[in-house]
Amino acid sequence: MSEASDPVFARIASRYDLINRILSLGRERKWRRRGVQMLPQGTVLDLGCGTGNTDFGTRRVVGLDPVVEMIALSPLPDRVVGVGETLPFRDDAFDGVFTGYVMRNLTSVNKTLEEAHRVLRPGGVVVVIDLGRPAKPVLRVLHRIGTALILPLVGLALARSPGEYWYLHRSLDSLPPPEELYRGHRLGLEEVWRMGMFGFVYGARLRKR
């Protein structure tokens, strides 16, 4: 999905889930579950599935990720190595598309959303869970300072990879707020919600009209 981020995730694949749980104080899976609740039943594409640690219940799930080292750890029986900008699936193949903590790492958000639109059946839903900066200016500044200091230290202590988590800090500024990012796309934006301390985690639901 991104030539810049793929080597980062390849190096930290075996420690990725543990570090996410520590950084989120154990809430990362809860945030994913809230997003999954917004999905229809049926067949779902987990776009950027990583290690496949999202619980989709009884839905049939196809996982897609560009990083071989990550997807090799996934328990999903249906896994494809690929990128969001050129999905290797037929039109109208899925009832839903889920993407968790992926949008900041894409080469092109617009191309990925267009591909999601193509592979969704009419009325299908895209659910995005991702990180961003808080909406309020003062909190945004404090959050930026905090991630600049904390994330590299956590990367050094837990993964011996401070550079990879400096990348995460910078990626938080790579996209506009979700209300702006998804507005105006032909995948109609239905809802944005905020989670986490200061609202730095967000969820967004879009629907194919």
Please write the tens of the pLDDT for every residue from 140-175. Answer: 787 777 777 676 666 665 556 555 566 676 777 878
Please write the tens of the pLDDT for every residue from 26-61. Answer: 788 899 999 999 999 999 999 999 888 899 999 999
pLDDT band at 65 (very low <50, low <70, confident <90, very high): very high
| Residue appearing with tokens 């009209």 | 209
List Cβ neighbours of 184 (8 Å cut-off, separation of 6 or more): none
Give the pLDDT score at 31. 92
Angle at 32 between CA 27 and CA 33, to 5 degrees: 95
List Cβ neighbours of 149 (8 Å cut-off, separation of 6 or more): none
**Mean pLDDT across the chain:** 84
SS3 14: helix
pLDDT band at 2 (very low <50, low <70, confident <90, very high): very low
Give the pLDDT score at 144. 78
Amino acid at residue number 133: R
Burial track 49-64 (b if 16+ CB lie within 10 A, e otherwise): bbbbbbebeebebbbb
The full set of domains in the chain, from first to last, is: 6-208 (3.40.50.150)
Give the pLDDT score at 152. 65
Give the pLDDT score at 156. 60
User: Residue 113: is its pLDDT beyond 60?
Assistant: yes
User: Residue 92: is its pLDDT beyond 90?
Assistant: yes
